[in-house]
Structure 1
C-alpha cells in the first residue's frame, strides 16, 4: 500500500479535511501534535488507532501538498 492511500478526504468527515483512513484524526491533528513537541511514541500511545505508517503517511501527504502548492507572487 502506498503511504498516501492511508489518507482520505471525505466531505462528510471533519468537513473534508484530509484524515488518516478509518479515523477522524486529520493530517493537521497529527502533524500539529508532533510540531507541539509530542514524540511519535507519545502520539501513538495517546492514539492507539494510529500506526507508525500512518504518521509517515501524514508527513508524506504534507510534503506532497507542499510540492504542488501554487504560489501567487502578486505580480500581474
Structure 2
C-alpha cells in the first residue's frame, strides 16, 4: 500500500494537516474517532467519501511516522 496515493498535505487545507485526498478528513481526526470507540465500519458509514483503501492508507501512514 502506497499511502501517498490517498493522503496529502496542503497548507491551504486544514493548516497543512495530512488529509485524505478529495476530503477534509484529517488523519488526526480519524484516529481521534477510533480512539473514542468508533469502528472502521462506523467511519465508512458516516463518511461516504472515505473508502476502505483510504482508511488502510491512514494506518500505513501512521506506521511510517
Radius of gyration: which is bigger? Answer: 1
- CA deviation string 1:15-60 (max 9, x = no partner): 0000001111000111111121101111111100001111111111
CA RMSD of the aligned region, Å?
1.2
Instruction: Show the counterpart of 2:43.
Output: 43
- Larger relative contact order, structure 1 or 2 (CA cutoff 8 Å, min sep 6): 2
Q: How many residues align?
A: 65
- Equivalents in 2 of 1:3, 1:18: separation in Å? 11
Gaps of 5+ in 1: 66-76
Aligned residues of 1:14 and 1:24 also touching (Cα < 8 A)? yes
Which aligned segments of 4 or more residues in structure 1 are displaced greater than 3 angstroms? Answer: none
SS at match of 1:60: helix
